[in-house]
Amino acid sequence: MARRLAASLGARYLDTGAMYRAAALGVLRAGIDPAEPVAVSEDVARRTIQIGTEPDSCFVLLDGEDVSGEIRTAAVTTTVSPVSAVRQVRALLVSQQRRIISEATATAGGIVVEGRDIGTVVAPDAPLKIFLTAAAAQRAARRAAQDGIADVAAVQAAVERRDRFDASRDASPMCAADDAVQLDTTALDVEAVLARLHDLAVERGLVVPAVRDSL
């Protein structure tokens, strides 16, 4: 959704979750226990994580290697929450994310940023914050269909487990910003969600209404 919205607005796109996934992949490759915060933070600090911001050609590099596909594996999905909960890891990546946002805002006309702490931590002054959600069962069904997984119940359990972990962590817990627009997508299809997001951008003066014709 975020990537399609960015494309429709002619803006850049940043998937901050992909950066944490790249960090988690590095930790896995190094054989480090994700529950060891010092070792995790030291490993991530040694890594170079780069991410593309063009919505139609996204990529993620870990130490110069394209890992765009590998960061979506089940092993990384299991590891990313404890790695991203390490305060030093978040400090490193949030600093990088803010630089990317600043550059895109100054030179590219804006950026759509996706992540679990954007409105509360990374960009608290953003002109439009959206907390996109859906019922856990619906999110699990979508994830299972996306990844070709037959056991939807297992996917739902994993989704709910990650939500609990991310919402309860000390560093940048997942929650909606006080001024965020909360949009429940449970009963909406892709095009309806995209239309609503685009309308919100128009209402905030972030794009001229005529751009809507390109959706």
3-state secondary structure of 174: coil
Identify the pLDDT of residue 162: 82
pLDDT at 209 over 70: no
The two beta strands, 49-51 and 60-62, are antiparallel
Smallest CA-to-CA distance from 18 within 109, 105, 116 is with 116
Identify the pLDDT of residue 84: 93
Identify the pLDDT of residue 206: 82
SS3 content of the chain, % helix, strand, coil (to 5): 55, 10, 35
Identify the pLDDT of residue 35: 94
pLDDT at 211 over 70: no
From CA 81, how far away is CA 131, in angstroms rounded? 19
When the pLDDT of each residue in the chain is averaged and rounded to a whole number, the result is 91
User: Which amino acid is residue 44, in one-letter code?
Assistant: V
What is the distance, to the nearest Å, from the Cα of residue 100 to the centroid of all Cα atoms in its chain? Answer: 14
**Dihedral angle at the C-alpha atoms of 62, 101, 37, 70, nearest 10 degrees?**
-30
The CATH number for 2-214, chosen from 3.30.70.260, 3.10.129.10, 3.40.50.300, 3.40.50.2000, is: 3.40.50.300
Polymer length of the chain: 215
Q: Counting Cβ atoms within 10 Å, is residue 67 exposed (0-12), middle (13-18) or buried (19+)?
A: buried
From CA 19, how far away is CA 66, in angstroms rounded? 12
Please write the tens of the pLDDT for every residue from 16-50.
999 999 999 999 999 999 999 999 999 999 999 99
Q: Which of 166-170, 204-208, 210-214: highest mean pLDDT?
A: 166-170
Please write the tens of the pLDDT for every residue from 66-80.
999 999 998 999 999
Domain regions of the chain by residue span: 2-214
Please write the tens of the pLDDT for every residue from 88-121.
999 999 999 999 999 998 887 789 999 989 999 9
From CA 150, how far away is CA 117, in angstroms rounded? 30
In degrees, rounded to 5, the angle at the alpha carbon of residue 137 between the alpha carbons of residues 136 and 138 is: 90
User: Which amino acid is residue 119, in one-letter code?
Assistant: G
From CA 115, how far away is CA 187, in angstroms rounded? 22
User: Which amino acid is residue 32, in one-letter code?
Assistant: I
pLDDT at 137 over 60: yes
pLDDT at 215 over 70: no
Identify the pLDDT of residue 164: 87
C-alpha to C-alpha distances, 5 to 14, 34, 35, 106, 173, nearest whole angstrom: 12, 33, 36, 19, 25
